[in-house]
A and B are shown apart, each in its own frame.
Chain A
Amino acid sequence: MKKFEQCNGLVVPLDRANVDTDAIIPKQFLKSIKRSGFGQYLFDEWRFLDHGEPGMTVAQRQINPDFILNQPRYQGAEILLARDNFGCGSSREHAPWALQDYGFSIIIAPSFADIFFNNCFKIGLLPIVLDGTIVDRLIKATEATVGYRLLVELNAQIVSTPSGEHYFFEIDAFRKHCLLNGLDEIGQTLQHAEKIRDYEKKRRIEQPWLFA
């Protein structure tokens, strides 16, 4: 995993609540057995007017000019501002893969669906929870200012606006440590292999039917 320190990124606002994983990456694209290449199908039903199928390239598609991600001023955005309960629905990790592959490295919302939130950390995409009123303010500011950027510093846990407001965000210490150091979680866990084996030994005695 890549190390994450800070990001001074262009922001795009997605002014909808309950954006679900089917909207983030429609199911026809889940048939791939690969881990990359999902960015071109991110928000497929909103970004394009025609129906997308795996294998199609953006060049072949009918772009929906009204969808916010397609507006020229938001090209190259790295920070997505969203509303409540972002990423609800299925457990598909294809959703964070698609967001990351498209170019996002941070999603800011007042709340996230649990599994989605969790999946983001596993791939080094940073979900940040900020109060609803702050997100509201940021969405308005982004819409009002072309080229609006936010500075996100993971170590200090601060989101800063161009006009000098600073917003603190919470993050679990272990997750922060993994992100800052780009650590492979499986390698970390395997350092406890002995403990896992001990646990199994104990359970074999206490609940033998689980190992029958």
Chain B
Amino acid sequence: MKTLYDKLWESHVVHAESDGADATVLLYIDRHLVHEVTSPQAFESLRMAGRKPWRTSSILAVADHNVPTTDRRHGISDPVSRLQVETLDQNCDEFGITEFKMDDLRQGIVHVIGPEQGATLPGMTVVCGDSHTSTHGAFACLAFGIGTSEVEHVLATQCLVTKKSRAMQVLVEGVLPAGVTAKDIALAVIGEIGTAGGNGYAIEFAGSAIRALSMEGRMTLCNMAIEAGARAGMIAVDDVTIDYLKDRPFAPKGLLWEQAIAYWRTLKSDEDAIFDRTVRMDATRIKPQVTWGTSPEMVASVNGRVPAPSDIVDVVKRNAVMRALEYMDLQPHMPITEIYLDKIFIGSCTNSRIEDLRAAAAVVAGKKIASNIKLAMVVPGSGLVKSQAEQEGLDRIFREAGFEWRDPGCSMCLAMNEDRLGSGERCASTSNRNFEGRQGPGGRTHLVSPVMAAAAAIAGHFVDIDS
């Protein structure tokens, strides 16, 4: 009996080098998402080899990493960034690839726009030269990040040379407490299994707590499967999936829609499917999560404390914690709620969708950011999310509370544009990585949910949302 992963895998094998689960196979790719950072060298090599894209209609391109989030009319000031975005434009024009350019309302973070457009559909294989491609697995896709050589490979052949991973099931049962979100599930899972826990696995998230999540929440969770070490995260199809996709621009219509949903409904693990590993989590016990270190697994509940290196037996781990505390400038055993922030970032492909913004806005409505917060910014995931939020008046709520309301892009998730932390600055961020220097050299990142980021903006420090 088959797991969802088995079904997705087997339906895309074009050729296998040998028999058995360990075979190297040619896997067919249905959807190829492309952005400016990891594609220029792939297009260049393709051209040099005299090759052309195999199926341009499978490709959707957008510039997101380098784009400014303030006034776009002036273009991109950094010449190196500009060249990269222009190179994407030229490549797409030359090969006839659909691209949402910087002035297009549909432009946004690649992992936000795919689902938003219905370009991500259940049962597809989805790849992108970006590790957070796992996001799309929320739609029962097999979606994973690839390197630039593989981007070129998919462009040239519509296939990837790859091997099957093992299957892990993460079962989250029960009802989440108030104020606890999909982001907290993601961080709690990573805290549980570690950032290498998912290495070699594709993770399927299941259980009543997962079924209760909206598509936005499911995307947040699958987005961070990569932080747990897994290349792919996925969730079975149900009504929530199908309702979300109905009438999206790229989704099938009419008879094809009916035909598609009949197939999509089969995209779930069989009752008696066997997983290589199962991890169980009790949703009722998950608290709001805050990372304190420089790896997403360095995480604690908001009512918890920063660990002390002296409590850790394993030498390699102890050294890592010591180095992290030093970098983060935190004291051993300090309560998480005593961590004061300088900046707040609500955005990134993890948490920049309309529901994330609604949740954050509900917390800040009628309040003002604390005096110690130097900058609080909201960066919507796409132009469409932005305009939707504006129709709902969320921009006003954020502005009145003292937030900056920006244009869509990756922004301070990885600080490739101007949005970044100064050295020593401490940020509550709804993004996905807290590595040293991720949000700017010397910057200190605490990963949290949009609700927590909003609450921290108002209080100036982390707060136990329950209390």
Do A and B associate with each other? yes
Q: Cβ of A85 and Cβ of B196 under 8 Å apart?
A: yes
Residues of B within 8 A of A33 (CB): 40-41, 44, 83-84, 87
How does the 8 Å CB contact mask read for A41-81 relative to B, with 1 for contact and 0 for none?
00001000001001000000000000000000000000000
Q: In the bound complex, how far is the Cα of B162 from the Cα of A51, in angstroms?
A: 38
Once A172-B24, A192-B15 are accepted as A-B contacts, the answer to whether A93 and B149 lie under 8 Å apart by CB is yes
- The one of A54, A92, A199, A211 in contact with B28, judged by C-beta atoms closer than 8 angstroms, is A199
- The one of A18, A27, A34, A90 in contact with B320, judged by C-beta atoms closer than 8 angstroms, is A18
Residues of A within 8 A of B54 (CB): 196
Q: Cβ of B157 and Cβ of A114 under 8 Å apart?
A: no
Residues of A within 8 A of B383 (CB): none
Residues of A within 8 A of B433 (CB): 20, 22, 89-90
Q: Which residue of A lies closest to B153 (CB)?
A: A186
B242 located at the interface, meaning its Cβ lies under 8 Å from any Cβ of chain A in the complex: no
In the complex, chain A residues 94-137 whose Cβ is within 8 Å of any chain B Cβ? 94, 96, 111-115, 118-119, 122-123
In the complex, chain B residues 27-54 whose Cβ is within 8 Å of any chain A Cβ? 28, 30, 37-38, 40-41, 44-45, 49, 51, 54
Q: In the bound complex, how far is the Cα of B57 from the Cα of A208, in angstroms?
A: 14
- The one of A32, A54, A84, A93 in contact with B196, judged by C-beta atoms closer than 8 angstroms, is A84
Residues of A within 8 A of B424 (CB): none
Q: Which residue of A lies closest to B91 (CB)?
A: A33
Q: Cβ of A17 and Cβ of B320 under 8 Å apart?
A: yes
Q: In the bound complex, how far is the Cα of B148 from the Cα of A92, in angstroms?
A: 7
Q: Which residue of A lies closest to B165 (CB)?
A: A114
B131 located at the interface, meaning its Cβ lies under 8 Å from any Cβ of chain A in the complex: yes
Q: Cβ of A114 and Cβ of B200 under 8 Å apart?
A: yes
Residues of A within 8 A of B259 (CB): 208-209
Which of B149, B260, B414 is packed against the most chain A CB atoms within 10 Å? B149
Residues of B within 8 A of A149 (CB): none
Which of B17, B199, B230 is packed against the most chain A CB atoms within 10 Å? B199
Q: Count residues on chain B whose CB falls below 8 Å from chain A CBs.
A: 77
Once A33-B40, A54-B80, A88-B196 are accepted as A-B contacts, the answer to whether A27 and B415 lie under 8 Å apart by CB is yes
B184 located at the interface, meaning its Cβ lies under 8 Å from any Cβ of chain A in the complex: no
Q: Cβ of A115 and Cβ of B38 under 8 Å apart?
A: no
B161 located at the interface, meaning its Cβ lies under 8 Å from any Cβ of chain A in the complex: yes
Q: Cβ of B147 and Cβ of A115 under 8 Å apart?
A: yes
B229 located at the interface, meaning its Cβ lies under 8 Å from any Cβ of chain A in the complex: yes
Q: Cβ of B14 and Cβ of A195 under 8 Å apart?
A: yes
Residues of A within 8 A of B41 (CB): 33-35, 93
Whole-angstrom distance from the CB of B27 to the nearest CB of chain A?
10
In the complex, chain A residues 159-205 whose Cβ is within 8 Å of any chain B Cβ? 172-175, 185-186, 188-190, 192-193, 195-196, 199-200, 203
Residues of A within 8 A of B342 (CB): none
Q: In the bound complex, how far is the Cα of B28 from the Cα of A188, in angstroms?
A: 15
Q: In the bound complex, how far is the Cα of B87 from the Cα of A51, in angstroms?
A: 27
Q: Which residue of B lies closest to A209 (CB)?
A: B252
B163 located at the interface, meaning its Cβ lies under 8 Å from any Cβ of chain A in the complex: yes
Q: Count residues on chain A whose CB falls below 8 Å from chain B CBs.
A: 60
Whole-angstrom distance from the CB of A162 to the nearest CB of chain B?
25
Whole-angstrom distance from the CB of B195 to the nearest CB of chain A?
6
Once A22-B438, A33-B83, A196-B158 are accepted as A-B contacts, the answer to whether A113 and B44 lie under 8 Å apart by CB is no
Q: In the bound complex, how far is the Cα of B198 from the Cα of A111, in angstroms?
A: 12
- The one of A89, A111, A119 in contact with B149, judged by C-beta atoms closer than 8 angstroms, is A119
In the complex, chain B residues 415-461 whose Cβ is within 8 Å of any chain A Cβ? 415-416, 433, 435-438, 441
In the complex, chain A residues 1-33 whose Cβ is within 8 Å of any chain B Cβ? 16-18, 20, 22-23, 26-28, 30-33
Q: Cβ of B229 and Cβ of A114 under 8 Å apart?
A: yes
Residues of B within 8 A of A92 (CB): 37-38, 147
Which of B49, B66, B148, B252 is packed against the most chain A CB atoms within 10 Å? B148
Q: Which residue of A lies closest to B261 (CB)?
A: A209
Q: Cβ of A189 and Cβ of B157 under 8 Å apart?
A: yes
Q: In the bound complex, how far is the Cα of B150 from the Cα of A47, in angstroms?
A: 29
B95 located at the interface, meaning its Cβ lies under 8 Å from any Cβ of chain A in the complex: no
A207 located at the interface, meaning its Cβ lies under 8 Å from any Cβ of chain B in the complex: yes
User: Which positions in A face B, CB cutoff 8 Å?
Assistant: 16-18, 20, 22-23, 26-28, 30-35, 45, 51, 54, 83-85, 88-94, 96, 111-115, 118-119, 122-123, 172-175, 185-186, 188-190, 192-193, 195-196, 199-200, 203, 207-212
User: Which positions in B face A, CB cutoff 8 Å?
Assistant: 14-15, 17, 24, 26, 28, 30, 37-38, 40-41, 44-45, 49, 51, 54-55, 57, 65-66, 78, 80-81, 83-84, 87, 121, 123-124, 129-131, 133, 144-150, 152-153, 156-159, 161-163, 165, 195-196, 199-200, 229-231, 252, 256-257, 259-260, 263, 295, 316-317, 320, 323, 414-416, 433, 435-438, 441
Complex A-B: 23 CB contacts under 8 Å: A17-B317, A18-B295, A22-B438, A27-B414, A31-B83, A31-B416, A32-B80, A35-B45, A45-B436, A45-B437, A83-B316, A89-B131, A90-B130, A90-B433, A93-B41, A114-B165, A174-B24, A185-B161, A192-B15, A200-B158, A209-B257, A209-B259, A210-B121
